[in-house]
Structure 1
Amino acid sequence: MIIKLTSENKYFLDILYKNPNTDQGLYLKELKNGIVIGNVVSANEYHCVFLDGKHSYLPEEGNQIDFQSYCSPLLALNMSTEFFNHLYKENASLSETVISWLDKNYNEVDTEKCTIEVATFFIDSGWYKNDRYLLSKYIDGISLNHKIGNNYELNIEGKTVREALQKFSLVALFSHFTNKYAVYTYIDDYFIQKHITMLTNISGIPYFVFYLFIKRIMRSPVQFEKFKPQLEAYFNSEIQFVFTDTHQSRKEFICSQINFEEPVLDFGCGELQYFKLLLKKGFTQEYHAYDEVDFKHIADKITAIENADNLRWIESLEEIKDFEGQVILSEVIEHNSFEEAKELLIWIRDNTNFTQLFVTTPDKDFNVNYEMTEEFRHDDHDFELSNSEFRELINEIFPNPKSFYGVGDCVKGVYPTSAVIIQKK
C-alpha cells in the first residue's frame, strides 16, 4: 500500500514532523510481518509505503496471495497511526501546541489544503452503491473511484493537514469494520477515545455518522455509557443517543412492556424477531404469529431448535378472530396504503379482545437526519406519518386509554420511531 500526502503549505513537512535532512528523508519501522517506510518526495509531498513479509493482513492463512497487504483499510489505519499519531489529539490542545523549531503553533502553520491519495483501497460492504460511498454523502472531501472488483481509488481533501488525516482515518475505520473480509480488531477504550476525538475535531459532521460509529464500532453498553456525554456534547446536547440501533430499540421497548402472564399475537411478525427476544427473556405463554408472507418454515425451525412449543403459526385471519391477549403491530401499517392501514387498525379493534395493543411506525420527520427529503425510509413503504399525524390516526380509531412514546435516538425532540400502547376498552 502507498499513501500519498500533498499540500502547498510551506510548513507541510514541519506539520508532519518529517525532516528531509534526517536519513535522506526516510523512516523505516517494523509493522506486523513487514516494514513501513516514510519517504519525503519533496517539500510538498510525502509517501507512506508498506512492504509485507508474509500474511500480515490476511484473514485466510491458506491463501498464498496476501493482496490485503496492498489495500486493507486496517493497514491504512495502522500506517496513519504509525506516521501521524501526533496529529490525532483534541483540536483545542493541538492548535495551541508549539512546534519548537518554528516557534509557531499549529493554528499558525496548518492553514492550507491537504490531499491524500490511496491508489488501491479495499471495500466489500454495502457502503458503496450507485457509484457513491456512504460517508461521501455526509462528510465533504471524500471520494472513491471504482477500479476493479472490490478495489477503489480513495481521495481525501481537507482544509488543513490535520483535517485531511482525520477524515482519512475515519474512512479507514468505518471501511474496516463494515467489510465482510476483515481481520478481527480488539476495541478498547483507548481506541474508542482516539476516534471520538477525530470525529469531534471535524466540524459539521451530521448525526447519522455518529449513529454509525456507535452501532458499528462500540462493543458494549458499558463502553457506550462511558463515552455518551462526549458524543452528545458535540451537538450541544440537542441529541440523546441510545446504544441499540433503531430496529433493536423497537424490540427492546415493546418486549420491556410485554406482560409475561398473557398470550401474544404478533401481527405482521416477519421473521419472528420479537418472539426470539421474548423467548430469551423467558416468555412461556402462547405466541401467535401471523404474516401475509409465509414464514412458517422459520417458525417451524425455531420450534425445532429451541423446543418452543408455545409458538403457533397462524394461517388466516379467521384463526385470530376473538383473540384475547396482547397484540404487536410493529412496523406494519406503513407497508399498506393509508386507507388499508386504517382498515387494518379498525379490524384489530373490532375483531380482537386485546389487553394491550402495541403499534409502531417510522416518524417521517426524522428522515432528514438520514439526509432524506421526499423519499420514504424504505422502498416498500407506501406512506409515512409524522408523530402528530400518527397520534391523530390512533386517536381517531381508538378512544381507549393509551400512551404515546418516541423510541430510539432523540434529535431535537424527534425520534426515529413513533409508538403507542393502547389499553383494553
Structure 2
Amino acid sequence: MAIIQLASDNPAFSFLIKKNPASGMVFRGIRKGVANGWFSEEGIYHVFFQDAQNTVSFNAKDEPAFDYLNLSKYTSPFAYLQMINEFFKTVYTKENDQDKVGFQNRIVFSMIYARKEHYLRFFNQYFEGYDFTAIQKAEKYYEVTILSNGKLADLLKISNVFCLFLAMNSKEPFQVEDDLIQKYIQFLIDLDVPYFIRYLFAQNFLFRPKTFQKFKSQLEQTEKYPIKLQFGNTHLQRRSAIKSRFNFSNSIVDIGCGEGFYALPFAQKLEAPLFYYAIDINPDLLLHVEKRALHLEIENIGTYASLDYFLENAPSEKVDVLLTEVIEHMSLDQAEKLIQQVLNFVNFERFIITTPNRDFNVFYELEGEFRNEDHQFESTTEEFQNWLSDIVQRSSQFEVDFFQIGDTVAGISTSSGAMIRRKGVE
C-alpha cells in the first residue's frame, strides 16, 4: 500500500487535477496492482495503491516477486512516481491560468524508502520556497511532506524529481533512458534549480560520457549564473585534471594516498622499472591499498607510513609528487612545512597540489562553513595562490603554475590546483 495525499487551498484545485469530487472513486491499473483516487473533502485528494493479492509490482533485486510481506510494494519511490504520473500528469504537462502563486499546496508521501537519507536534507536545503518535512517511520523509511505557496504544477514537478532521485538510489533495478533524462532536465530548467541539484542529477543520470555530452548543455541552462559542468564527480574531475598533467615517465610519490584512488589506476600506467610510492599516516588505509593492489595484481606499489620514513629509504631517481586534498587537513604551518620538506628533500620534476576552493562553497550553500568537519582551513583561489607563491619563491630552483579543477559556476571552480616544477623542466 502506497498512499499520496495532495491538497491545495486553490478553489480551482479539482479543475487543475481534472477530478470531479462528485464522481466518487477513480480506479487506475498500475503494473500488477490497482490505484484508487478520491476526495476526502474539498481541496484534499488521496491516491492509494495496492498490489493484487500477494503479487509484487515494485520489488528489489534481491526480493521475491511473490511475497505478502514484501516491504517494497508499500514504500517504493517507483510506486509514488507512477501514482503521480497516472493521476496528476495533466497538471504539469499543460499550463492552466487557474494555477496561480499564493495558494498553499501540499503533497504527502505516507511512507517512502530513502536509501540515501541525506537527499532528504539536500532537497530541503536547495529548493528555495519549498518546505520538506521528513518523519522517520523506520530505518530508511519516511513520511515526507512538501509544502509550497507556488504553483501546483511546480510542486508536482519537484515531487517527480524528488521521487526520481530516491528511485535511482533504491534497491530496485532502474533503466535510464534518454526520454526520461530529457523529461526531468526540462523539469529542472522550468524550476531553475541551483547548481548542486544539477550536479547531483549529472552524477546519478549522466554517468556515461556519451550521455553526459548529449545533455550537458541543456542541464547547464539557468538564469541564475553561468554553469560549466564536467563529467564525473568532483573526485573523478580532480583525477582527470591530474592525469592530464602527468606524463607517467617518472615514478610517483603520492603523499596522503588514502584508499588508493590515484595509486591503483596510476600505478598501472607506469612501465617497469617505474614505481608508485604510496604514503599515508593511516595504517588501515595503507593495508587497504596493499590488499587492492594484490587483488588487481599490481606489483609496483610500495606503501610508507610517513614522508619521513619514505625519505629515509628514498631512491635517487627523479619522481613526480602528488599532494591532493591533503593540506587542508592540517594547520597552515604544518602544510607549509610539508611542502618545504618536499621542495628540499625530494628529487622531483613535477609536484602537483590540489585543495578545495573556498570561493565555491557558496554554491554548496556552505557560507562560513568548511566542506568537511576535519578540514582545518580552506582557501580562496587568491589566498591559495599567494600563500603557495610565497613558499615557492623562496628558492630560485622552482616555478609554479596554477590551474582550476572541476565544475565552474560564475567562473569559479570547485578546486584549486598548482604544479611546481624545477626550472628548465617542461
State the 1:136 CA deviation: 0.6
Counterpart in 2 of 1:10? Answer: 11
Residue 335 of structure 2 aligns to a residue in which SS? helix
Residue 335 of structure 1 aligns to which amino acid in structure 2?
A: H
1:64-103 matches, cutoff 5 A: 64-89=68-93, 94-95=94-95
1:371-401: CA deviation from partner (whole Å, max 9, x where unpaired)? 1122211111111111111111221122323
Equivalent pairs counted in the alignment come to: 403
State the 1:30 CA deviation: 2.0
State the 1:266 CA deviation: 0.7
Residue 211 of structure 2 aligns to which amino acid in structure 1?
A: Q
Q: Quick one: distance in 1 between partners of 2:317 and 2:268?
A: 24
1:33-84: CA deviation from partner (whole Å, max 9, x where unpaired)? 1112222334422211101121212213346512222222121112112222
- Is 2:32 the partner of 1:33? yes
Q: Quick one: distance in 2 between partners of 1:361 and 1:322?
A: 29
How does the TM-score come out when normalised to structure 2?
A: 0.89
Q: Quick one: distance in 2 between partners of 1:385 and 1:237?
A: 22
Identity of aligned residues (%): 29
- Is 2:63 the partner of 1:61? yes
CA contact (8 A) 1:146 1:153 kept: yes
CA contact (8 A) 1:156 1:167 kept: no
Residue 45 of structure 1 aligns to which amino acid in structure 2?
A: I
Residue 242 of structure 1 aligns to a residue in which SS? coil
Residue 4 of structure 1 aligns to a residue in which SS? strand
Alpha carbons of structure 1 residues 283 and 55: separation in structure 2 relative to 1, 3 Å: farther
Q: 1:344 aligns with which of 338, 342, 349?
A: 338
Alpha carbons of structure 1 residues 313 and 410: separation in structure 2 relative to 1, 3 Å: same
CA contact (8 A) 1:187 1:219 kept: no
Alpha carbons of structure 1 residues 87 and 226: separation in structure 2 relative to 1, 3 Å: farther
Residue 347 of structure 1 aligns to which amino acid in structure 2?
A: Q
Q: Quick one: distance in 2 between partners of 1:67 and 1:202?
A: 32
1:167-205: CA deviation from partner (whole Å, max 9, x where unpaired)? 2112211222234xx2011111111111112222224x3
Q: 2:221 aligns with which of 230, 233, 245?
A: 233
State the 1:279 CA deviation: 4.5
- Is 2:395 the partner of 1:401? no
Q: Quick one: distance in 2 between partners of 1:85 and 1:142?
A: 21
- Is 2:262 the partner of 1:268? no
Counterpart in 2 of 1:101? Answer: none
State the 1:345 CA deviation: 0.5
CA contact (8 A) 1:4 1:118 kept: yes
1:132-160: CA deviation from partner (whole Å, max 9, x where unpaired)? 72211111222212233332221112312
Residue 48 of structure 2 aligns to a residue in which SS? strand
CA contact (8 A) 2:320 2:348 kept: yes
1:15-414 matches, cutoff 5 A: 15-20=16-21, 24-53=23-52, 54-59=55-60, 60-62=62-64, 64-89=68-93, 94-95=94-95, 106-111=96-101, 112-127=103-118, 133-139=121-127, 140-158=130-148, 159-179=150-170, 182-203=171-192, 205-235=193-223, 238-279=226-267, 285-294=274-283, 295-315=285-305, 316-317=309-310, 318-320=312-314, 324-399=318-393, 400-414=398-412
Unmatched tracts of structure 1, length 5 or more: 96-105
CA contact (8 A) 2:254 2:276 kept: yes
Q: Does 50-59 or 298-307 show the bigger shift?
A: 298-307
State the 1:322 CA deviation: 5.3
How does the TM-score come out when normalised to structure 1?
A: 0.89
Q: Quick one: distance in 1 between partners of 2:68 and 2:3?
A: 21
State the 1:237 CA deviation: 5.8
Residue 298 of structure 2 aligns to a residue in which SS? coil
Q: Quick one: distance in 2 between partners of 1:87 and 1:222?
A: 33
Q: Quick one: distance in 2 between partners of 1:280 and 1:58?
A: 40
Counterpart in 2 of 1:422? Answer: 420
Alpha carbons of structure 1 residues 388 and 82: separation in structure 2 relative to 1, 3 Å: same
Structure 1 residue ranges (4+ consecutive) displaced by more than 6 angstroms after TM superposition: none
Residue 173 of structure 1 aligns to a residue in which SS? helix
CA contact (8 A) 2:267 2:301 kept: no
CA contact (8 A) 1:359 1:419 kept: yes
Q: Quick one: distance in 2 between partners of 1:352 and 1:149?
A: 50
Residue 194 of structure 1 aligns to which amino acid in structure 2?
A: K
Counterpart in 2 of 1:98? Answer: none
Unmatched tracts of structure 2, length 5 or more: none
Alpha carbons of structure 1 residues 64 and 297: separation in structure 2 relative to 1, 3 Å: farther
State the 1:282 CA deviation: 6.5
State the 1:283 CA deviation: 5.6
